[in-house]
Structure 1
């Protein structure tokens, strides 16, 4: 079954849109990390004081939740510790201010799904909890997306999830070349981003109760690149016992989540040659400025942990196929119109335009090669409102819907699994962008506007608040119990729940996305 690298496609689209709407960023973030100033040197805000294993923190209380930001969960991986596994953070004296997020991990410039940064001192997390700390609340650990190249935990405001009753933790983790360094000269650095996430999960087990959370009820939740991180934790022995449930959004483990050692080394060799570190490679790379490494690595890559290592003995797909993974209840889903956003992004990019009808067939042939005739027969232009919509439908079914159903089938053989399709038609568009030529509907990332305060999107319309509330209740309910208000997905009954404001019931997912056809080609 054909599956191309859709997450990288989304990076390209996001960069094009960023240049259109915001211009290209020209300087990295200069904001100091939350640890840069000791608490006694800075006025302490009127927040809540909580004691953690590393020391005492003071957060802020507002709008029915308590928020704590910039808490170190691991020691800064700087100097000789560049590309070293995470180590516990040092304790701090007094009361640490926790009202500002920590520095973003190093990442390239230009994307609205990221924050330009050259910081290596970036291993900080954030906790948002209900205002009342009575009882043990389910804990949701959010792994942000961004192709494992971009993003920060604090970009995604989780106050609604917390108000619904969950303690929500997000973290920054090493990205790109700083978190997934495949050079054999830098031993054991192929999956440091995943190891950082494991360190954050250990911190959560040790500290959740201090924030009113149940340390024995931790749900990992990730979308896109962050979802592939969840795939990695399902497959990694080092994550065993660190989480109790998992939510996979737009991240089909059956076709993603790892790469080969050869792929990682080829990428590392390209960077090593570009920065002139062919001799004394490890020492040379550790001396290089972060900006030079980021420039050599580039903006369009798809870093992943390497399969066949102690961190990830098996690729996620093989781990799920054989049952050799961390078996926890899983909620997995996909957006019904994933690829609409990418096609629209290409239209709106500088020099772009809506796809003309005569461009549809060449585009399908470029995408699908020897299978193009069959694809054109099943996705005729006459059945869609435009060439862009037709292409997006075929790409969504091939690259997202089919492998997500495959992943659910693999999971359900071994562990309780629920599957959904986010199918809302009237979703917010990207904030500040020109209107699209056709409705984005349930495009990639669209569901995030309902779960998080996210500046990337326009506001959800007031009449959709009941739908948003139901989504929030469902996700927090799954975190609490491992169940949903629809049945489990089983091989004998592949139940996929359609989620939209107008419809909350079973979808004919395999038919709607031509699953049998896509399993027959490629």
Structure 2
């Protein structure tokens, strides 16, 4: 829907956040303060010194590369769920010619799988300072005791910080320049991806969940018969908006613009900023 921003209320994003908490490493743990000059007689400059020991990289088209250098001690055992610790030093020359193991990724799901690689970006980003302090604050705002499962808690956090905050920021910006309608797809019992195992917790309005209500897609299981009236209403709303640029709910205006919930229950105004802890995330540093 043009001029409209949709946010999934319960996306399947728990694994990505788990990885952020377990593998996200702050600055200061980088291993390389490499010597600018090559070691004498060591394969044309492919051996350099780091803070933890020497590494041997490779060359290709006159470009030197050094791969799979540890940035911190593995976050396993007693180090799990704690702040990062320095990587152990080594003796001799460490091989650095091939990539290390990739960050964990979900296999087979027909959704973007960039979460683990995004976590790897924390290894070199100055903005990762205080990462674990922010994680503690998030756990205080979203206590596990308030959710049916850890997966549901993590998915809620990921929804709010990744989708809800940028969506509200975007709607506020757009509304200063053009007529804007904002909705939140909040159906609780949605079709899952056909042929793929469902998560261990109720996925609810996960990413792309509204698509089977608008299109005939083999990607999803069928919409339930009891949701047919809701599906028809969704279709009518989108077609009417495409024809007129209007919806049955008011346009989004100002800091507290109107957001409409779309579900098989009553359509009503959502307290979007409060529901998704907008102020908490905007002020978290």
Q: Which has the higher contact order (CA 8 A, sep 6+)?
A: 2
Q: How do 1:195-210 residues align onto structure 2 when only pairs under 5 Å count? A: none
Residues 17, 158 of structure 2: 8 Å contact kept: no
Distance 1:448 1:362, change over 3 A: farther
- Does the 8 Å CA contact 1:364/1:372 hold for their aligned counterparts? no
Question: Number of aligned pairs?
Answer: 181
What SS does the corresponding residue of 2:177 show, helix, strand or coil?
coil
Report the 3-state secondary structure (helix = DSSP H, G, I; strand = E; otherwise coil) of the residue aligned with 2:269.
strand
CA distance in 1, matches of 2:262, 2:9: 10
What is the correspondence of 1:309-324 to structure 2 with a 5 Å cutoff? none
TM-score (norm 2): 0.59
Q: Which runs of 5+ in 1 are unaligned?
A: 1-220, 222-246, 248-329, 348-360
Post-superposition offset of 1:477: 0.7
Q: Which structure would you say has the larger Rg? A: 2
Find out whether 1:331 has 2:4 as its counterpart. Answer: yes
Residue correspondence of structure 1 range 177-216 to structure 2 within 5 A: none
- Rounded to whole Å, the distance in 2 between the matches of 1:514 and 1:363 is 25
- Give yes or no for contact 1:364–1:391 (8 Å, CA) kept in 2: no
SS at 2:193 equivalent = coil
Q: Matched residues in 2 for 1:393 and 1:364: separation?
A: 23
- Does residue 386 of structure 1 match 2:149? yes
Deviation, 1:388, is 0.9
Distance in 2 (alpha carbons) for counterparts of 1:512 and 1:471:
23
Query: Unaligned stretches of 5+ in structure 2?
Result: 19-79, 85-118, 123-130
Q: Which residue of 2 aligns with 1:467?
A: 230
Q: Does 1:515 align with 2:278?
A: yes
1:377 aligned onto 2:48:
no
Separation (CA, whole Å) in 1 of partners of 2:17 and 2:132: 21
Aligned to 2:206: 443
**What is the root-mean-square deviation in Å for CA atoms of aligned residues?**
2.7
Matches within 5 A, 1:245-324: 247=2
Cα distance per residue 1:291-315 (max 9 Å; x no partner): xxxxxxxxxxxxxxxxxxxxxxxxx
- Per-residue deviation at 1:364? 11
Q: CA deviation at 1:370?
A: 3.4
Give the conservation status (yes or no) of the 8 Å contact 1:331–1:418: yes
Q: Is the helix fraction higher in 1 or 2?
A: 1
Alpha carbons 1:336, 1:442 under 8 Å: kept: yes
- Structure having the larger proportion of residues in strand: 1
Distance 2:256 2:13 in 1: 32
Structure 2 SS opposite 1:362: coil
Task: State the TM-score, normalized to the length of structure 1.
Answer: 0.33
| In structure 1, distance between residues paired with 2:236 and 2:282 | 35
